[in-house]
Amino acid sequence: MKKVLEGEAPQDLLLKCYQCGERFIFTVGEQQFYQQKGFVHPRRCEKCRANYSNR
């Protein structure tokens, strides 16, 4: 993966949930967490993620 963001200040992203269509904030802290896990972006908002993992 290219380090395109290197040198840029990390910032919160506004993403759109592909399940319910709501926009949600993907915070810098979450971005770092996802990167450590090897993931890219969450596709669902927190609510949908909670619903999904509860099933």
Q: Which is nearer to Zn ion, 5 or 27 (CB)?
A: 27
Instruction: Kindly state whether residue 19 participates in binding Zn ion, applying the rule CB under 5 A.
Output: yes
Q: Give the residue with the Cβ less far from Zn ion, 20 or 28.
A: 20
Q: Is 15 in the site for Zn ion (CB under 5 A)?
A: no
| 8 A C-beta contact, residue 46 and residue 24 | yes
HEC-encoded secondary structure of 5-37: CCCCCCCCEEEECCCCCCEEEECHHHHHHHHHH
Choosing from 15, 17, 30, 34, the residue that interacts with Zn ion (CB under 5 A) is 17
Judged by the rule CB under 5 A, the positions of this chain that interact with Zn ion are 17, 19-20, 45, 48
